[in-house]
Amino acid sequence: MSSSRPALLTVEGLTMRFGGIVANNDVNFTVDQGSITALIGPNGAGKTTVFNCVTGFYKATEGRIRLQTEAGEVEVGELLTRPVLGGSYLVARAGIARTFQNIRLFKEMTAVENLLVAQHQRLNRNLLAGTFDSAGFRAAEDEGIERAFHWLRVMNLLDDANKLAGSLPYGRQRRLEIARAMCTGPRLVCLDEPAAGLNPSETEELSELIRRLRGEHGVTVLLIEHDMGLVMGISEHIVVLDHGEVIADGGPAHIRSSPAVIAAYLGTETTEVTP
Amino acid sequence: MRAKVHEPIDFGHALRDALVTGVLTLLVLGPVTNLVLDGYAITAELLRGPLIVNGIGLALVVALGRFVVAVGVQTPAGRDLLTRFGQKGAHGVTVETAADNDWHRVLRPLVIGGALSLLLLVLSRFGLMDVQRAAALVLIVLFVVLGQGLGSLRRRGQSSPWRILVPLLFVAGLVLPLLFNAWGLFPKTWIGNLILALIYVLLGLGLNIVVGLAGLLDLGFVAFYAVGAYFLALGAQYFGIGFWTALLCAPILAACCGAVLGFPVLRMHGDYLAIVTLGFGEIIRLILNNWLEVTGGPNGAPAPGPSLFGLEFGRVARGEGNTPFHEFFGLEYSADYKFLFIYLVLFVVVAAMIRFITRLRAMPMGRAWEALREDEIACRSLGINHVVVKLTAFMMGAMTGGIAGVFFATYQGFVNPTSFNFFESVLILAIVVLGGMGSTLGVIIAALVLTLLPEVLRDFADYRVLLFGALMVLMMIWRPRGLIRPKRPAFAPKGA
């Protein structure tokens, strides 16, 4: 909002229609470089749809989603519609990583393998080098393993390194999914309800982790969350959606006192409050 | 459960079970078998023989069997067996541990293999078993142990005994067939059987990439096999290419066919993909069958045999100025030489492929295949181009199938479309499923068993498909994840 930091992600006039249903209507917001931004709203407000548009899983019907990268500005819609090779994987390569509401780990692979898959782009993919286990291949592989263990350490998952991802407890699976997203080396990491299904102490640990991701590892965070304690505690910028439209946008204090937000969550007798 | 091991055996319950099954069997089979139509009257023959056509006898046998089983599962041993099988179904995949590469772990298959070979040789020595069959089985055991060695990856910074054993086994695998043949223990029929078995190992490995690793159900894999085989046959006919050229070029052509098939089906999953690949397999077969002018149609086409540095294996040289192999070395002509040579080349190629596929699983490409099988959406969210990854899986699988096709053609000396029907595809898929999806060793064993068992059990040839079906049903009950479950590699950070 009124911060001096440059915007990393700019969403302009995002509209998403599924047939006759308008999931998002003219959504505008920005995510500042190095910020923790939360996207909140009642069930069915269209939060996940915005998320899917930003991470390239949906092609927005209208509007532009621009990401600042080292190589300049990238438009998400353009990556998706690129001829032949276009696709959501390009969005991930441009620097937007994500997690999923219902965890999508590679369940029958170990935690380390999950993280190695995420580093696909950085490893040595030369077929010959790999077949003959060349020095270059080994070096790249070692580096990848090192990076995987680094993120396991950050996420406090070292003990689970060689366990199958599917066999881990729920809270650890969530953390592993974040570690996996971080292994792609993103500029923006999008967390879809990271605290869903976690108990209070795990949620506390998670909010500490997210703060550290931003503080120590210099990544910008965009998250959807229903746990208001978590949202108000860690995010400096909150975007509230209701019925597919942005009804409030600002810092936690502003959101807490916004009549439109209160109306959307709690309902009011005077229904004209919506902006 | 464990605490109540000494629970008394409930004989009454077992008896009731046995009675119910017995009566049911009697009701089903009795009227069919024991009432005999004699002229216009029906007579009841209660003591009809043999047993197989006597429903009363069968009912007794079934009841007795049910009673034994019912009592058996109540004993501690039976209960243990049940829980063991139950557990195996429950969790499939395990992670390898440091102990997996220990000497004694590695030596176990070696010792078992050696003991088995010795047993076979002793049996044949005392005339209890056909000597030739025993010799062939020794070679098979050797190959399986070698397959395990080639299929295991050394953990970084750890010495593995396989490093010494694999070259030894490899050399033994090359020398023993020659010695056996020289001693008259390894005749042409058995060389042929082993060649076919190894061809199926190759096919199984290829399909394992597509189905087992990448999780794309392909019911038309035999098409690539056909492409390889016909490439040699038609290439020789029209362009005069030989075995070695085909061996190098057929994989490339088959891989291209894999890409051609891959492109349209990339958007499909599961059942739809299976149907399209099934169609592709049939299309290739129908083209081969109906394009008479080029492929020779149902009459097939001849395929050339292999050559060794220009030396042919025929009785007389075909090419001008060529010398046959046996003349060059001053040997007596024998048709065995050609097959022995094919066997040895195939042995080397299969060993190399096993190694290659094992390495692939440790490479980013192989990991991406497995990740794609687990969750395609997650793969896309990690910047992996799922289209390219699927395409590479199709191409690698097709390439392996193509190589197998070349060997098949040169071994048969003739190809025609009936060799590439849908049943072949099913057989290859069965090899992969029975062996354990994604497990290299499992696929090797399943391929050998499924191709050699019919040869060993020639007497039961009529019941082959029946046995095959029964085997499938039993496997699906006890080992739904296949014979051998793949193990995930373990990793350690550099410091540790």
ipTM score assigned to the predicted complex: 0.89
Number of domains into which chain A is organized: 2
Name the pLDDT band for A264 (thresholds 50, 70, 90). confident
Instruction: Please state the rounded mean pLDDT for residues A99-126.
Output: 90
User: Looking at residue B316, what is its pLDDT?
Assistant: 66
Mean pLDDT of B464-478: 79
Q: Which of B58-62, B90-94, B198-202, B487-491 has the lowest mean pLDDT?
A: B90-94
| CA distance, residue B314 to nearest chain A CA (Å) | 37
Q: Are residues B140 and B452 in contact, defined by beta-carbon separation less than 8 angstroms?
A: yes
Can you give the pLDDT at residue A2?
Answer: 45
Task: Report d(CA B368, CA A116) in Å as an integer.
Answer: 9
Buried b (16+ CB within 10 A) or exposed e, B36-54: eeeeeeeeeeeebeeeeeb
- Structure-token pair, residue B367: 């990991």
- Most confident range, picked from B282-286, B297-301, B479-483, B487-491: B282-286
- Please determine, for residue A128, whether its predicted confidence score (pLDDT) is greater than 80: yes
Q: Residue A101: inside a domain, yes or no?
A: no
**Confidence (pLDDT) at B456:** 73
Q: Is residue B344 less than 8 Å (CB to CB) from chain A?
A: no
pLDDT band at B330 (very low <50, low <70, confident <90, very high): low
- Tokens at B144, concatenated: 């399986």
- Amino acid letter at B430? A
A113 inside 8 A of chain B by CB: yes
**Alpha carbon of A3: minimum distance to chain B alpha carbons (Å):** 30
Q: How many CB atoms lie within 10 A of CB A19?
A: 5
In this structure, the answer to whether residues A224 and A164 fall within a common structural domain is no
Token pair listed for A53: 């548009």
The span from the CA of B37 to the CA of B32, in Å, is 10
Q: What is the mean pLDDT of residues B405-430?
A: 90
Query: What is the C-alpha separation between B270 and B245, in angstroms, rounded?
Result: 36
Higher pLDDT, A4 or B70: B70
Q: Does the pLDDT of residue B59 top 90, yes or no?
A: no
**What element of type H or E holds B163?**
helix B162-182
- Chain A residues with CB under 8 Å of B90 CB are none
* Residue-averaged pLDDT of chain B: 83
CB atoms closer than 10 angstroms to residue B461: 9
Task: Please tell me the predicted confidence (pLDDT) of residue B85.
Answer: 61
Which positions ≥6 away from B159 have C-beta within 8 Å? none
Sequence-ordered list of residues with C-beta below 8 angstroms from that of B389, at least 6 positions apart, any chain = B214, B365, B368, B369, B372, B379
B214, B273 contact by CB (below 8 A): no
pLDDT of B458 over the 90 cut: no
| Closest residue in chain A to residue B365, using alpha carbons only | A125
pLDDT over 60 at B385, yes or no: yes
Helix (H, G, I), strand (E, B) or coil at B44: strand
Confidence of residue B223 (pLDDT cuts 50, 70, 90): very high
Could you say which of A185, A204, A220 is where a domain stops? Answer: A185
Q: What is the pLDDT of residues A229-238, one digit of tens each?
A: 889 999 999 9
Which 3 state secondary structure label does DSSP give A169? coil
Chain B positions in Cβ-Cβ contact with residue A173 (cut-off 8 Å)? none
List all residues of chain A from 192 to 221 with a beta carbon under 8 Å from chain B. none
- State yes or no: pLDDT of B43 exceeds 90: no
Q: Are A105 and A180 in contact (CB under 8 A)?
A: yes
**Same-domain status, A70 and A191:** yes
Burial of A251 (0-12, 13-18, 19+ CB in 10 A): middle
Task: Choose the closest CB to B371 out of A109, A123, A130.
Answer: A109
More confident residue, B269 or B211: B211
Q: What is the pLDDT of residue A1?
A: 44
Asked whether residue A71 falls in the same domain as residue A134, the answer is no
User: Which region among A80-89, A206-215, B97-106 has the lowest average model confidence (pLDDT)?
Assistant: B97-106
Contact B356 A131 (CB under 8 A): yes
Residue B474 confidence class, pLDDT cut points 50, 70, 90: confident
pLDDT over 70 at A164, yes or no: yes
Q: Is A102 inside any structural domain?
A: no
Least confident of A4-18, A133-147, B180-194, B303-317: B303-317
Instruction: Tell whether the model's pLDDT for residue B405 goes beyond 70.
Output: yes
Q: How far apart are CA B440 and CA B442, in angstroms?
A: 5
Q: Return the residue of A nearest to B371 by Cα.
A: A106
- Candidates B444, B402, B400, B405; CA nearest to B150 is B444
Across A87-106, average pLDDT: 91
By mean pLDDT, which of A69-73, A196-200, A220-224, B329-333 is the weakest? Answer: B329-333
pLDDT tens, position by position, B226-266: 999 999 999 988 888 888 888 999 999 999 999 988 888 77
- What is the pLDDT at residue B368? 93
A57 touching chain B per CB within 8 A: yes
* Residue A147 and residue B495 in contact, taking contact as beta carbons nearer than 8 Å: no
Contact residues for B458 (Cβ-Cβ < 8 A; gap 6+): none
Q: What angle do CA A89, A95, A101 make, to 5 degrees?
A: 70
DSSP string, B357-383: HHHHHTSHHHHHHHHHHH-HHHHHHTT
The domain boundary residue, chosen from A185, A201, A228 = A185
In a domain, A114, yes or no: yes
Phi, psi torsion values for A16, nearest 5 degrees? -130, 120
- Contact yes or no for A98 and B381 at CB 8 A: yes
Q: Which of B92, B370, B491 sits opposite A112 (nearest CB)?
A: B491
Mean pLDDT lowest for which of A234-243, B1-10, B106-115? B1-10
Burial of B292 (0-12, 13-18, 19+ CB in 10 A): exposed
A102-115: b or e for each residue (b if 16 or more CB lie within 10 Å)?
ebbbbbbbbbbbbb
The angle that helices B422-435 and B270-290 make with each other, rounded to 10 degrees, is 140
Residue A100 included in any domain: no
Average pLDDT over residues B375-399: 91
Residues A197 and A252 in one domain: yes
Q: What is the pLDDT of residue B229?
A: 93
Q: Comparing A133-147, B265-279, B409-423, which segment has the lowest mean pLDDT?
A: B265-279
Q: What per-residue confidence (pLDDT) applies to B408? A: 94
Query: What's the rounded Cα separation, in Å, for the pair B102 and B338?
Result: 41
Contact yes or no for A120 and B364 at CB 8 A:
yes
On the question of pLDDT at B199 being above 90, the answer is yes
pLDDT, position A19: 87
Question: Which of B75-89, B125-139, B302-316 is most confident?
Answer: B125-139
- Whether the pLDDT of residue A90 is over 50: the answer is yes
Which residue, among B349, B346, B357, has the nearest Cα to B152 in the 3D structure? Answer: B357
CA nearest neighbour of B301 among B309, B292, B310? B292
Name the more confident of A19 and B482: A19
- CATH number at A217 reads 3.40.50.300
User: How many A×B Cβ pairs under 8 Å?
Assistant: 127
Q: What's the whole-number mean pLDDT along residues B45-64? A: 79
Instruction: Give the residue on A whose Cα is nearest the Cα of B495.
Output: A146
Contacts of B383 in chain A (CB under 8 A): 89-90, 92-93, 120-121, 184
SS (H, E, C) A28-89: EEEEECCCEEEEECCCCCCHHHHHHHHCCCCCCCEEEEEEEECCEEEEHHHHHHCCCCCCHH
Could you tell me the pLDDT band of residue A146, with boundaries at 50, 70 and 90?
very high
Give A 219-238 residues with CB within 8 A of chain B.
none
Look up the pTM and report it.
0.83
CA trace torsion B66, B68, B74, B80 (10° rounding): -100
Nearest to B187 by CA among B345, B304, B339: B339
Residue in chain B lying closest to A84 (CA) = B387
Q: How confident is the model at residue B42 (pLDDT cuts 50, 70, 90)?
A: confident
> For position A179, what pLDDT does the model report?
94
B 450-489: CB under 8 A from A: 488-489
The answer for residues whose C-beta is within 8 angstroms of residue A275's C-beta and 6 or more apart is A247, A260
pLDDT band at B333 (very low <50, low <70, confident <90, very high): confident
User: How large is the greatest C-alpha to C-alpha distance in chain B, in angstroms?
Assistant: 90
Q: How far is A272 from chain B (nearest CA, A)?
A: 40
**Does residue B409 surpass a pLDDT of 90?**
yes
| Residues A129 and A229 grouped into a single domain | no
* Distances in whole angstroms, Cα of residue B467 to Cα of each of B219, B463, B470: 22, 6, 5
Q: With 60 as the cut, is the pLDDT of residue B91 above it?
A: no
**Tens digits of residue pLDDT in B142-156:** 898 888 888 887 766
Cβ <8 Å between B364 and A93:
no
Is B263 an 8 Å CB contact of chain A?
no
Domain ranges in chain B are 2-84, 103-186, 204-307+345-485
Instruction: Show residues of chain A in contact with B157, CB under 8 Å.
Output: none
Of A104, A162, A167, the CB nearest to B375: A104
pLDDT of residue A271: 55
Q: Which of A185, A200, A222 is the last residue of a domain?
A: A185
Phi/psi for A64 (5° steps) reads -125, 140
Do A177 and A194 have their domain in common? no
Give B91-145 as a DSSP string: ---EE--GGGGSHHHHHHHHHHHHHHHHHHHHHHHTTSS-HHHHHHHHHHHHHHH
Which of A91, A106, A150 would you mutate first to test chain B, the one with the most B CBs within 10 A?
Answer: A106
CA B113 vs CA B48, B49, B110, B135, B240: distances in Å = 47, 44, 5, 13, 44
Query: Could you report the per-residue pLDDT of A237-249, keeping only the tens digit for each?
Result: 999 999 889 998 9
Domain span including residue A211: 1-95+187-275
pLDDT at residue B89 in the model: 42
For residue B95, the distance in angstroms to the closest alpha carbon of chain A comes to 7
**Chain A nearest CA to B481, separation (Å):** 13
Residue B486 has pLDDT above 80, yes or no: no
Lowest mean pLDDT among A122-136, B36-50, B93-107, B204-218: B93-107
Of B377, B382, B489, the CB nearest to A117: B382
Kindly state whether residues A85 and A115 are assigned to the same domain: no
Contacts of A148 in chain B (CB under 8 A): 491
Nearest residue of A to residue B98 by CA position? A162
